[in-house]
Amino acid sequence: MTSATISAAPTGWTPSASEKLTARLDRLPMTRTIWIMVCLICAGGFFDGYAIGLIGALAPGLFHAKIITPTTVGFFGMNGFASYIASLFAAFLVAALFGSHVADRVGRRTIFTFSLVWFGIANFIMGFQTTALGLDIWRFISGLGVGLELVTCDSYLSELVPKKARGKAFTWLQAITSISGPVVFVIAAGLAPPVTLLGEDGWRWVAWIGSAAALFVWWIRLGLPESPRWLAQQGRVEEAEKVMAWLEARVEAEHKRPLPAPDAPQYQNPRKGSWTEIFEPQFRTRTIVLILYNFFQTPVYYGFFAWAPTLLLAKGIHIAKSLEYTAIIMVTSVVFPFMIGLWADKIERKWHGVIAVAMTAVFGLWFGYTTNTVGLILLGAVVAAGISYVSYVLHNYQAEIYPTRIRARGIGFVYAWSRLAGIFTPFLIAFFLRVSGVPGVFGFIAACSLVCIVSLFWGPRTVNLEVEAIAH
């Protein structure tokens, strides 16, 4: 099935200037300029990973300082580790539901100009908190900033990168996001209790270092242009043409030969976008698929990533060693996305998802029953690779299947289900850890994996298709 055969152009349609412009974008070779833009966009993903990594990395320090406790007497106890995690995901949920429409209305670059600043300042203030309530409040506020950032990263990346390299570009997003895991755990291991620096507990410095890095990345990304696809869809063709002319000139100079001719333009429905459009017959099935995948992949992903140090502690590993082992384990989540890049655009995205979830479930169950230290590290590394794969599929797939006019809102709505699940997942993980130990945790994760696998069978194909063609 080619892009031409799935076009929904009305009879007598003549391609508009904006439709011709997006066709020009899809024919561009992946040269240095585009890859630099990809890396700058993906840098925002680092702080989503850093914010989530702080869950596990700060846990030993927060326990040692007696600010929060590993478990709670009540299911929704607000002085425990679970409420600390839930506050972040509550912020992600709010940002996904109510902030994503802003990116569709005012543009991708506008969000970039303030979301990381928001996160950096709020995360810095969080580092000064001395109570569980204060910690949770500022964790929530900082999460609003980084929650907006990742939805925008997904949207912009799918709109910028030509169709033949879209999958590979998203492996870079996953790799850069995953780098934050080892980084935050290495920093946390060096500042683990009872270490203090300038009279302050080590966990506070882990938070403050992330804030400084966020402000630096905000500064180096100030030169990114607005998404030409978004500008064209908004009718701002003259602005889109300026960005496109600049990009084509840079790419042609780097390519050292004339650019290939564009493919036939794809029809783009000129209607105004609305979030209710994702429930119309054209998009309803894919929306349901992504709701299920987002919701049930959350325990698969965060059940291990966020809880790894705590799960190792439950197996009798010392605090400092648990952080060191987690850092080693998480290295595979950085390396593996580059391996995925070798076949990212050769296999349909939904089959990637099936492989990723199954891999995580099987090796996760094995990890749950392992007690040998070497076995824990090796199996943990495979599980970390699997969850990185799961996350790659999520971000790549959901960014492809809605049209530009509602892309951020579509991503935001389905991603909100992941964030909603993230609120309840820590309480469920804590429950299973308390009553069934680590094997019980991974039994729960395996059950969620099965739902993910079944749901993906109804997803649409996306590989090597223009995002406009996928929208039809």
Type of residue numbered 108? R
Is 77 inside a domain boundary? yes
Task: Look at residue 1 and tell me whether its pLDDT is greater than 50.
Answer: no
For residues 434 and 307, the answer to whether their CB atoms sit within 8 Å is: no
- Please give the structure tokens belonging to residue 84: 């600390």
Is 355 inside a domain boundary? yes
Q: How many CA atoms lie within 13 Å of 409's alpha carbon, on the beta-carbon side?
A: 18
If one counts the domains in the chain, the total is 1
Q: What is the pLDDT of residues 273-291, one digit of tens each?
A: 788 899 999 999 999 999 9
In terms of average pLDDT, the best of 38-42, 75-79, 378-382, 442-446 is: 38-42
Is 12 inside a domain boundary? no
Q: Can you give the pLDDT at residue 354? A: 95
Is 10 inside a domain boundary? no
The range of the structural domain enclosing residue 69 comes to: 17-260+273-470
Is 5 inside a domain boundary? no
Burial category of 8 from C-beta neighbours within 10 Å (exposed 0-12, middle 13-18, buried 19 and up): middle
Other beta carbons within 10 angstroms of residue 272's beta carbon come to 8
Task: Look at residue 416 and tell me whether its pLDDT is greater than 60.
Answer: yes
Give SS3 for 466. Answer: coil
Q: What is the pLDDT of residues 215-263, one digit of tens each?
A: 999 998 988 999 999 999 888 999 999 999 999 999 999 999 999 999 8
pTM for this entry: 0.84
User: Nearest to residue 119, comparing CAs of 139, 100, 99?
Assistant: 139
Task: Give the residue, 38 or 110, on which the prediction is more confident.
Answer: 38
Q: What is the pLDDT of residues 30-72, one digit of tens each?
A: 999 999 999 999 998 899 888 887 887 888 888 888 888 766 5
Q: Please report, for residues 184, 206, 421, the alpha-carbon distance to residue 330 in angstroms, rounded to integers and kept in the order given.
A: 10, 17, 23
Is 40 inside a domain boundary? yes
CATH number for position 354: 1.20.1250.20
Is 9 inside a domain boundary? no
**Mean pLDDT, all residues of the chain:** 85
Task: Look at residue 114 and tell me whether its pLDDT is greater than 60.
Answer: yes
Element (H, E) at 341: none
Round to whole Å and give the CA distance between 387 and 401. 22
Q: Can you give the pLDDT at residue 6? A: 45
Q: pLDDT band for position 469 (50/70/90)? A: confident
Is 1 inside a domain boundary? no
